[in-house]
A and B are shown apart, each in its own frame.
Chain A
């Protein structure tokens, strides 16, 4: 199975595009519906975080899907200023809900920051049966 990668502007309307890509991949891999659902929710939260927090102005979000025999890793990457949750705003409330969603719907995830706070990478792994 080839790796899939997608780079699109980090804008609210494009998070649905990412979900479409995941659905297409799930079809071609014959993934269980439950796995696809978990991926859609977790990846949406990671992308939403890029859209809301990564850039002052315009920027891209990059999606990379790395299929392996028994698991699938989805990487959501940006080249922004790094994750800075803003306290006491509506957005922050959303991320407080988003983080537990990623944690509970993945079989492992990690967040890595680039040098000097440039770029963030959220790496999510899903077990595939």
Chain B
């Protein structure tokens, strides 16, 4: 499993780099993106996460986002307004994100 920690401000300028890292991680297996240290994300970051989730589902890999309770309100708000919570698996810690990932049907499919 790859853990991608994203911190600071991210928008369309840094989205290509995130997309590359997500691709890299997903080609090796499951990915957890920890956004707890992020202070700002825009729709291009959400777009990158959505594409990653779709790719993970297609490949039968796990994918989840971790966002701690104390994380940036801005980031949480952006997820909520766009409906990515609850559409995307967003968990309050990396451990829970990993657990949620293991319960996903896609991962069971891989095991079977």
A residues at B contact (CB < 8 Å): 12-13, 15-16, 19, 37, 40-41, 44-45, 48, 51-52, 90-91, 93-95, 97-98, 100-101, 104-105
A105 to B42, CA, bound (A): 13
B102 at the interface (CB under 8 A from A): no
A15 to B46, CA, bound (A): 17
In the complex with contacts A16-B9, A16-B13, A93-B50, A48-B78 CB distance below 8 A: no
A101 to B13, CA, bound (A): 18
In the complex with contacts A44-B42, A94-B44, A95-B43, A100-B82 CB distance below 8 A: yes
For the A-B complex, the count of residue pairs with Cβ-Cβ distances under 8 Å equals 66
In the complex with contacts A40-B74, A44-B42, A98-B43, A51-B81 CB distance below 8 A: no
* Interface residues in B1-51 (C-beta closer than 8 Å to A): 9, 11-13, 40, 42-44, 46-48, 50-51
Secondary structure of the A contact surface, majority rule = helix
B residues at A contact (CB < 8 Å): 9, 11-13, 40, 42-44, 46-48, 50-51, 73-74, 77-78, 81-84
Q: Which residue of A lies closest to B10 (CB)?
A: A16
Closest chain A CB from B14 CB (angstroms): 9
In the complex with contacts A45-B43, A48-B42, A100-B81, A90-B13 CB distance below 8 A: no
B40 touching A48, Cβ below 8 Å:
no
Q: Which residue of A lies closest to B48 (CB)?
A: A90
Contacts of A100 in B (CB 8 A): 81-83
Closest chain A CB from B89 CB (angstroms): 17
